[in-house]
């Protein structure tokens, strides 16, 4: 019985090993075959996923392009508003020096084809807004000219580069005086220069106020190189569409000065005394 049991034990173990090895052998053969047969299906599935990804990417790209178009339009409007804001800030907060008044009157400027002057502007404000003849007119860059005639709701401005324009100016560096004379071109010149050595290329030109019509210290331009003492006007750097007017009262004529009544009586008595003494 012991020998028989040993024989059965070894026989059953070999059979079990054979039974276990048979499925393993079948699996080893089946796996490569299944992988080879499934390769086309996997490639087809990958191709379908690629097509689906491409379709989704195309839709997302289209949506992004539409969003980019909207953002570009918004960016353009934002830049336009920023440029307008900067210009208005410059107009409302210009560097005030000398006797430049704080009050200012803003107005829209347009061309003036019917003007008797070659270079002039029309502004959309007049006497109703407080504008009078002789008031200085500035852009956000510098002095443009002065009012030569004011109507109720509009006014005519003589520009600095017109032939009829004459403005008293000074050098910011040296304090030298001169008259800025327009010549119907973009480069007016300095005339009646008392101190030629006081002017150099690059000097900043400001109004001097010596003419009694314009405030002192308004930026005008820069002296250009060369012997003509030509001036590059600041306001010509950009188109003039909005301006502001300075309600500056210049010096009055001697005949327009009001004399108190008591002073007139004293002068009259002095004249009478001189006449009686002479007689």
Percent of the chain with pLDDT over 90: 38
In b/e form, how buried is each residue of 222-238, taking b as 16+ CB within 10 angstroms? Answer: bbeeeeebbbebbbbee
CA distance 137 to 121: 10
Q: Is the confidence at residue 18, as pLDDT, over 60?
A: no
Find how far residue 129's CA is from the centre of its chain: 27
Q: Which residues pair with 171 in a beta bridge?
A: 205
Instruction: Give burial (CB, 10 Å; 0-12/13-18/19+) of 183.
Output: middle
Q: Is the confidence at residue 171, as pLDDT, over 90?
A: yes
- Residue 56: the pLDDT is 87
DSSP-derived 3-state class of residue 248: coil
Choose the weakest-confidence range: 28-37, 50-59, 161-170.
28-37
Predicted TM-score of the model (pTM): 0.58
Q: CATH number of the domain at 105-250, please?
A: 2.40.10.340
129, 107 contact by CB (below 8 A): yes
Q: What band does 130 get if pLDDT is binned at 50, 70 and 90? A: very high
Percent of the chain with pLDDT over 70: 75
Q: Is the confidence at residue 104, as pLDDT, over 70?
A: yes
> What are the boundaries of each domain within the chain?
1-93, 105-250
Q: What band does 201 get if pLDDT is binned at 50, 70 and 90? A: very high
- What's the mean pLDDT when you consider all of the chain? 80
pLDDT, tens digit, for every residue of 248-261?
Answer: 876 655 555 455 55
Question: Cβ–Cβ contacts within 10 Å for residue 217, how many?
Answer: 17
């Amino acid at each position: 019985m012991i020998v028989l049991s040993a024989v059965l034990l070894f026989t059953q173990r070999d059979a079990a090993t054979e039974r276990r090895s048979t499925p393993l052998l079948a699996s080893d053969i089946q796996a490569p075959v299944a992988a080879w047969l499934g390769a086309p299906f996997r490639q087809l599935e990958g191709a379908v996923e690629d097509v689906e990804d491409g379709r989704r990417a195309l839709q997302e790209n289209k949506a992004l392009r539409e969003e980019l178009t909207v953002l570009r339009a918004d960016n353009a409007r934002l830049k336009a508003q920023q440029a307008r804001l900067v210009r208005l800030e410059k107009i409302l907060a210009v560097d005030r020096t000398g006797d430049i008044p704080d009050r200012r009157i803003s107005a829209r400027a347009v061309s003036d084809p019917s003007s008797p002057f070659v270079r002039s502007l029309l502004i959309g404000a007049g006497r109703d807004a407080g504008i009078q003849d002789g008031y200085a007119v500035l852009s956000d860059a510098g002095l443009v000219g002065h009012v030569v005639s004011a109507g109720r709701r509009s006014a005519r401005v003589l520009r600095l580069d017109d032939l009829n324009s004459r403005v008293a100016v000074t050098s910011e560096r040296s304090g030298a005086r001169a008259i800025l004379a327009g010549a119907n071109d973009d480069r007016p010149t300095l005339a009646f220069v008392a101190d030629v050595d006081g002017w150099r290329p690059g000097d900043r030109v400001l109004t001097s106020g010596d003419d009694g019509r314009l405030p002192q210290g308004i930026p005008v331009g820069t002296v250009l190189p060369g012997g003509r003492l030509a001036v590059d006007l600041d306001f010509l750097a950009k188109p003039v569409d909005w301006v502001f007017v300075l309600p500056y009262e210049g010096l009055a004529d001697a005949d327009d000065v009001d004399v108190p009544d008591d002073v007139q009586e004293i002068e009259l008595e002095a004249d009478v005394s001189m006449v009686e003494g002479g007689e």
